[in-house]
Amino acid sequence: MKQLWAPWRMEYILGEDKPAGCIFCPWPQEDLQARLILFSGRLTRVMMNKFPYINGHLLVSPLRHVPGLSDLSQEELLDLMLKVRQSLEIMKKVMNPDGFNVGLNLGAVAGAGVEAHVHFHIVPRWLGDTNFVPVFADVRVIPEHFQATYQKLLPHFREMADGG
């Protein structure tokens, strides 16, 4: 039998590393790298999912803590969508996926893990990235440590213009 090692997942399984506050909201004295935040602008922020479905899974959220799209101002909504579009372009350039799943889960029943703060998921996809392992072993294989992916993406997000 072969071993599949993913030691960073134990933090999530045991719940030892779950923050007390909202993961999307700015924190006093926050460490952007420790929180995997790639971009934090005036209205919107982009961060990597610390417990991803697949390598490069991003989360794009407004800075303001609101539960739905209808709670956003026109300016916030436009900036949020522009950051989703810019994030897709960066991911295409850096990670060269064959496609993407992009979406948001509104409400706990729809799968929202943090339903009080609206956010988009950007999940890069490659041909053959899903195989028998998740089906038979209930395990996802993520081939690169999230810190390595963060370091690849960060220079490109530092160039992202705030406001569009």
What does the domain layout of the chain look like in residue ranges? Answer: 30-126+138-158
Q: How much is the average pLDDT of 116-141?
A: 73
Q: In this predicted model, what pLDDT tens digit does every residue of 53-79 receive, in sequence order?
A: 788 999 999 999 999 999 999 999 999
- Between 90 and 129, where is the model more confident? 90
pLDDT band at 4 (very low <50, low <70, confident <90, very high): low
Q: 48, 153 in Cβ contact below 8 A?
A: yes
Which residue, chain included where needed, has tokens 């990670």? 95
Report pLDDT for 29. Answer: 81
Q: Which residues pair with 103 in a beta bridge?
A: 121
Q: Check if the beta carbon of residue 131 is closer than 8 Å to that of residue 14.
A: no
Q: pTM of the entire structure?
A: 0.78
17 — pLDDT class (breaks 50, 70, 90): low
Q: Catalogue the active-site residues.
A: 119
What digits encode the pLDDT tens for the residues 106-123? Answer: 877 777 678 789 999 999
Question: In the predicted model, is pLDDT for residue 51 greater than 70?
Answer: yes
> What percentage of the chain carries pLDDT values higher than 90?
46
What does the H/E/C string look like for the chain? CCCCCCCCHHHHHHCCCCCCCCCCCCCCCCCCCCCCEEEECCCEEEEECCCCCCCCCEEEEECCCCCCHHHCCHHHHHHHHHHHHHHHHHHHHHHCCCEEEEECCCCHHHCCCCCCCCCEEEEEECCCCCCHHHHHHCCCCCCCCHHHHHHHHHHHHHCCCCCC
Of 131-140, 142-151, 152-161, where does mean pLDDT reach its minimum?
131-140
- Stretch among 25-39, 60-74, 88-102 having the lowest mean pLDDT: 25-39
Per the CATH hierarchy, to which homologous superfamily does domain 30-126+138-158 belong?
A: HIT-like (3.30.428.10)
Residue owning tokens 């991003």: 58
